[in-house]
C-alpha cells in the first residue's frame, strides 16, 4: 500500500489544533493510515486530575475501532509546531496492538517499524502461550 506521509502529517497537524491541553499547554495530534485506506486521527485530551488525561493515540485507537476497525499501517504524531513526536510507552503499546511489528511510525530520521520503536513487544499472540 502506498503511504502518503504528507497527508498523514497534514491530518496530524489539523487534529492537533483540536487538542484540549489547558494544563500542559502541549497539544498533540496523531494520524494513521488503516489497511482499508482510511485515515484515522486523535488528539490529546487533558483532565484537571492529571493522571486521567488521554494521549492522542488513545483517541486515534478509539476512532479506529468506532469507524470499523482494521490494522494500522503507518502513523505520524506531532507537537504544536508540527514536529514529529515519539509516543510514550503506553501509546507505543496501543499502536502495536492495532498495527503490529510492521506498522511504520514517522520519526525525524524517516519511517521506522514498530519492531524498532517497541522492541520485544508484548501482544495478543503472547497470551496464547
User: 87 in a domain, yes or no?
Assistant: yes
Give yes or no for a contact between 76 and 83, defined as CB atoms under 8 angstroms apart.
Answer: no
Residue 94 exposure: Cα atoms within 13 Å on the Cβ side: 21
Number of domains the chain contains: 1
User: 108 in a domain, yes or no?
Assistant: yes
Percent of the chain residues past pLDDT 70, beyond the cut: 99
pTM, full prediction: 0.94
DSSP string, 61-94: HHHHHHTT---EEEEEEE-TTS-B-PPPHHHHHH
User: 127 in a domain, yes or no?
Assistant: no
Rounded Cα–Cα distance for residues 43 and 48 (Å): 17
**CATH number of domain containing 96:** 3.40.140.10
Q: Which of 57, 97, 102, 128 is catalytic?
A: 57
Average pLDDT estimate for 43-54: 95
11 is catalytic: no
User: 107 in a domain, yes or no?
Assistant: yes
In this prediction, residue 52 carries a pLDDT of 93
Rounded Cα–Cα distance for residues 129 and 21 (Å): 40
Q: What is the pLDDT of residues 88-107, one digit of tens each?
A: 999 999 999 999 999 999 99
Amino acid at each position: 500500500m502506498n503511504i502518503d506521509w504528507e497527508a498523514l502529517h497534514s491530518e496530524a497537524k489539523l487534529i492537533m489544533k483540536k487538542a484540549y491541553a489547558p494544563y500542559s499547554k502541549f497539544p498533540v495530534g496523531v494520524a494513521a493510515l488503516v489497511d482499508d485506506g482510511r485515515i484515522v486521527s486523535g488528539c490529546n485530551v487533558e483532565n484537571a486530575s492529571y493522571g486521567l488525561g488521554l494521549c492522542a493515540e488513545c483517541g486515534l485507537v478509539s476512532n479506529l475501532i468506532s469507524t470499523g476497525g482494521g490494522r494500522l499501517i503507518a502513523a505520524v504524531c506531532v507537537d504544536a509546531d508540527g514536529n514529529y513526536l515519539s509516543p510514550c510507552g503506553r501509546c507505543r503499546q496501543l499502536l502495536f496492538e492495532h498495527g503490529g511489528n510492521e506498522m511504520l511510525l514517522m520519526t525525524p530520521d524517516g519511517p521506522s517499524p514498530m519492531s524498532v520503536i517497541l522492541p520485544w513487544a508484548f501482544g495478543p499472540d503472547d497470551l496464547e502461550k
